[in-house]
Amino acid sequence: MPSVSLTHLDELWFQVSGTHCNLTCDHCFISCSPHNRSFGYLSLSDVQSSIAQATQEGVREFYFTGGEPFLNPEMVDILCWTLQHGPATVLTNGTVLKEEWLAKLQEAERQSRYSLEFRLSIDGFSPETNDPIRGDGTFDRAMAGVSLLCEFEFLPIITATRVWDDESDLEVLAQFKTVLKAHGYSRPRIKLLPTLQIGAEENRTRGYLQHEVVTDTMLSDFDQHNLVCSHSRIVTDRGVHVCPILIESPESNLGQSISESLVPFEIKHGACYTCYQYGSICTNASSGNTLSTTEPTVNPPDTAREDGDT
């Protein structure tokens, strides 16, 4: 079974709102919803404690995800505090943002030498393509969030999960840009993500197939820095886990402290296969960690291991 060592803690993630979300998206890989409280919120104090530990490891930047991070009542304070210590990225659905929060965050970023990145999830360029995935009315609400972020001079990275054929990428991207410009976003940044065949997505389409696993052979001539587990960890209210994708897998919890979590991890999950194919899909392009999302490496079924585990 292939095992990946952490070469350095480049990014520390926080599951800052647990699995609590105001939306219930059909493709959510950890099935977040208004009713899913299996993971709880992190407090400002929790974040401060973990960042203090991570700085001892020379951490480079910080990411905040959920659920919907801005359901956490301390989210704005958490980001303002974090920006005094390093770059911060927050992954939001953009539907609950408030002007007073963005004014405060704009000022915090101005006072900081570091960037505050918003990654805003939209999965279609129209209500007809987005709302069946993310819920009725979510396209218009998310676009209102985009417009609001632009008013405060943020340049959100629009993340879209590829729920269309790979061949349609250029056409879909062009339509996204047209729509975003019409909503006041004059130079849109867009990041395409592959689907992860776990959580709600397993029911929407399918789970991982038996052959969709990473093998020792596949890693023999592969730059392991393209795997997020080689340079990231994520803090939840249960402990420190290997990566943002696998928090629901019991073996992903590597300990209660950052130092305990710096151990090798067996990449036996189907989601590890997607990470292998597409590179560190979770991190921003500015880190230079990602592989191309247009021509993934494919593991032919006849060369794969037979006892895959998702």
Partner 1 sequence: MVIHSVINQNTKIKSRFALFGGVYSNYLALEATLQDIRQRGVDAIYCLGDLGAFGPHPDRVFPLLQNNHVIVVQGNYDDSVGNALNDCQCGYTDPRDNHFAQISYDYTLQNTSEPNREFMRGLPPEIRLTVDDQNILLCHGSPHRTNEFLWESTTSDYYLEHLLEVQHADVIAATHTGIKWNRKLDRGLFVNVGVLGRPENDGSTNVWYTLLELHTDNSWTVNHIPIAYNHTALAREMQQEKLPDEFVDTVLSGWWTTCLEILPSKERRRGKH
Contact 122, 150 (CB under 8 A): no
* 33: phi then psi, degrees, rounded to nearest 5: -165, 175
The reply to whether 190 sits near partner 1 by the rule CB under 8 A is yes
Kind and range of the H or E element at 11?
strand 11-15
Nearer to partner 1, 262 or 291 (CB): 291
Is position 155 an interface residue for partner 1 (rule: CB under 8 A)? yes
144 binds partner 1 (CB under 8 A): no
Residue 61 CB, shortest distance to partner 1, in Å, is: 6
Distance CA 109, CA 196 (A): 32
Residue 291 backbone dihedrals phi, psi, to 5 degrees = -90, 170
Question: x-or-dash pattern for partner 1, window 211-250, by CB under 8 A?
Answer: --------------x-------------------------
Contact positions with partner 1 (CB under 8 A) in 105-124: 109, 113-117
The yes or no reply on residue 55 touching partner 1 (CB under 8 A) is yes
* 42 is a site residue for partner 1 (CB under 8 A): no
Q: Hey, which residues between 3 and 32 contact partner 1 (CB under 8 A)?
A: 7-8, 10
Q: How far is the CB of 166 from partner 1 (least distance, A)?
A: 11
**Edge-to-edge strand list for the sheet holding 88-92:** 189-193, 157-161, 116-121, 88-92, 61-65, 11-15, 232-236, 239-241, 253-255
Q: Which is nearer to partner 1, 169 or 202 (CB)?
A: 169
Q: How far apart are CA 22 and CA 70, in angstroms?
A: 10
51 secondary structure, DSSP code: H
| In the complex, least distance from residue 113 CB atom to partner 1, rounded to whole angstroms | 7
Nearest distance from C-beta of residue 36 to partner 1, angstroms: 30
Residue whose C-alpha is closest to residue 119's, from 100, 91, 86, 84: 91
Alpha-carbon distance of 28 to 47, in angstroms, equals: 24
In whole angstroms, the minimum distance from the beta carbon of 244 to partner 1 comes to 18
Which of residues 118 and 265 has its CB atom nearest to partner 1 in the complex? 118
Q: Which is nearer to partner 1, 190 or 262 (CB)?
A: 190
Decide if residue 94 touches partner 1 (CB under 8 A): no
167 binds partner 1 (CB under 8 A): no
- 187 part of the interface to partner 1, by CB under 8 A: yes
169 binds partner 1 (CB under 8 A): yes
| Torsion on CA atoms 66, 34, 147, 164, rounded to nearest 10 | 80
Q: How far apart are CA 134 and CA 142, in angstroms?
A: 10
Q: Judged by CB under 8 A, which of 3, 178, 285, 303 binds partner 1?
A: 285
Strand partners, 235: 14, 240
In angstroms, rounded to a whole number, what is the distance separating the alpha carbons of residues 59 and 226?
A: 18
User: Where on the chain is the footprint of partner 1 (CB under 8 A)?
Assistant: 7-8, 10, 54-55, 57-61, 85-87, 109, 113-117, 153-155, 169-170, 173, 187, 189-192, 225, 279, 284-294
